Amino acid sequence: MNILVLHGPNLHLLGKRQPEIYGHETLADINTTLDQHAAASEHPVVLKILQSNHEGELVSIIGDHIDWADGILINPAAYTHTSVAIRDALATVAVPVIEIHLSNIYAREEFRHHSYISAIAVGVIGGFGSHSYKLALEAMIHILRQTAENYSETPN
Ligand code: DQA
């Protein structure tokens, strides 16, 4: 299972960025937890974790992994609420996508209540701080396992 994990703008500043909303863990802490979780999985999981502050770069990264990724975990950060381009890139790659947020975007300002990404995601996990990422990774492993099992059960 090859899983691409993407962090959007300003998430490189986690730990320093509004800790009352986003917590005290750094992005490196979150990535380490994800790597440990992947390594402990009974299924072989390869994670590739990237962060960018630039919309076009995120679009390029997504497209560049069209033949690699079996699933994508993405916290699009502010681009959640603005980016048709990232949505289109994710839809093009056509693998399961899980949208992640540290905060509960529905309990915040109204402009955060709309996501361009949710409609093309299999699910959205938010509001659990850094734990949202771990929950999303578990959900993705579950989805990819089910897909693999269904595929192996399909008669020729
Ligand atoms: C966020 C929520 C977004 O509204 C915000 O712009 C972010 C982080 C979250 O993880 O809670 O940058 O995606």
Between the CA of 38 and the centroid of ligand 1 the distance, in Å, is 24
For position 34, what pLDDT does the model report? 98
For position 150, what pLDDT does the model report? 86
Between the CA of 75 and the centroid of ligand 1 the distance, in Å, is 7
Residue spans per domain, the chain: 2-149
* Per-residue CA distances from 148 to 26, 123, 141, 152, 153 (Å): 34, 19, 10, 6, 9
Atom 9 of ligand 1, residue of closest alpha carbon: 101
Catalytic residue among 65, 79, 101, 133: 101
Reported pTM: 0.95
User: If pLDDT is split at 50, 70 and 90, which confidence band does 156 have?
Assistant: low
For position 82, what pLDDT does the model report? 98
For position 134, what pLDDT does the model report? 97
78 CA: nearest ligand 1 atom: 6
For 15-74, write each residue's pLDDT tens digit. 999 999 999 999 999 999 999 999 999 989 999 999 999 999 999 999 999 999 999 999
**Does ligand 1 lie within 6 Å of residue 115's CB atom?**
no
| Assigned CATH for 2-149 | 3.40.50.9100
* Cα angle, residue 113 at apex, residues 110 and 116 outer, rounded to 5°: 130
132 CA: nearest ligand 1 atom: 10
For 100-138, write each residue's pLDDT tens digit. 999 999 999 999 999 999 999 999 999 999 999 999 999
Atom 6 of ligand 1, residue of closest alpha carbon: 78
Q: In angstroms, rounded to a whole number, what is the distance separating the alpha carbons of residues 85 and 91?
A: 10
State the residue for tokens 């909303």: 21
Between the CA of 150 and the centroid of ligand 1 the distance, in Å, is 34
18 vs 156 pLDDT, higher one: 18
In the predicted structure, residue 153 carries a pLDDT above the cut 80: no
For position 154, what pLDDT does the model report? 64
